[in-house]
Every structure is written in structure tokens, then in C-alpha cells.
Amino acid sequence: MDDAQDHFIELLAQLIARANRMLADGRSVPPLGLMLMRDGSVEVSIAADAGEDQLPELLDGLQASLSDRAMHEDAVASCIAYADGDGERIIALLENREHWCATALLPVAGDPPAVDGEAITIEDGGLHVFPASH
């Protein structure tokens, strides 16, 4: 995997699969951190689903955890994802080692709810997981 687009597609596929399993089980999607490694494996961190008022602290914690992991040369891309306040979409903040960043908006719809993979939108984004010296 050499390309930011491939990295982001892999991370989004992993995120969608995990989110859809949680939604199918009737659970909400807690804040998640995913780190794509050079060998194609994905390490996952799940924050406690403590409520919307604690979301900034949970996201800061995930970012710090992923930043620590990004110091290892095997890490190539990261994703921090969380559900919006209404649970109608999942917001995914993506970054790769070369500092390409994107924000993916994944709508959640249906009964049972699931991510609508055909309605995902991608915007420019910013996140600081990977160290500037790499």
C-alpha cells in the first residue's frame, strides 16, 4: 500500500464493517481510532461511549494514543471516527504518514441502521497524528 487513497479506502472499509456490526447489534458507534500498518493490518482503539459532552476529551485521548503509535515506522495511516450528536452520520478524520488529510462523512440510515456506503462524501481535512519529521 503506497498511496493515500488506498490507505484511506482500507481504513474506511474497516470502519464501515465495525460500525455496521455495532449498529446491527443495536449499539451506538463510540469514538474509534484505527491505525493502518505497513503490512496491511489495522490496530483499533475504542473509547468509552461516555456521552456527547465528553466527546472532545475522548477524541483528544484517541489522537494522543494514535500519535504515540505513529512514532513506529510501520504505521502508514490513521483514522479517528465518531458519531455526530444525532447518530445520523459518522465523521472520520483520516491522515497518512505524508500528511495527506481528509474528512469522510458517512451517513447512517435504514432500519436496522447501517452506513450508506454510496452516500459517503469526502472533504479536505486536518489532523495531526503523524510527527512532522516523517
For every one of its 134 residues, what pLDDT tens digit does the chain have, with 9 covering 90 and above?
458 889 999 999 999 999 999 999 988 899 999 999 999 999 999 887 666 678 888 888 889 888 888 887 789 999 999 998 787 999 999 999 888 899 999 999 998 899 998 999 998 887 678 877 54
Nearest to 95 by CA among 125, 132, 50: 125
What pLDDT does 1 receive?
Answer: 42
User: Residue 4 is which amino acid?
Assistant: A
What pLDDT does 134 receive?
Answer: 43
Please say whether the beta carbons of 28 and 65 come within 8 A. no
CB-side neighbour CA atoms (13 Å) of 23: 21
Cα 62 to Cα 34: distance, rounded to the nearest angstrom = 9
What pLDDT does 17 receive?
Answer: 96
- The residues spanned by each domain of the chain are 4-124
What pLDDT does 128 receive?
Answer: 78
What pLDDT does 86 receive?
Answer: 81
Please say whether the beta carbons of 20 and 115 come within 8 A. yes
User: Taking the model in full, what pTM does it have?
Assistant: 0.88
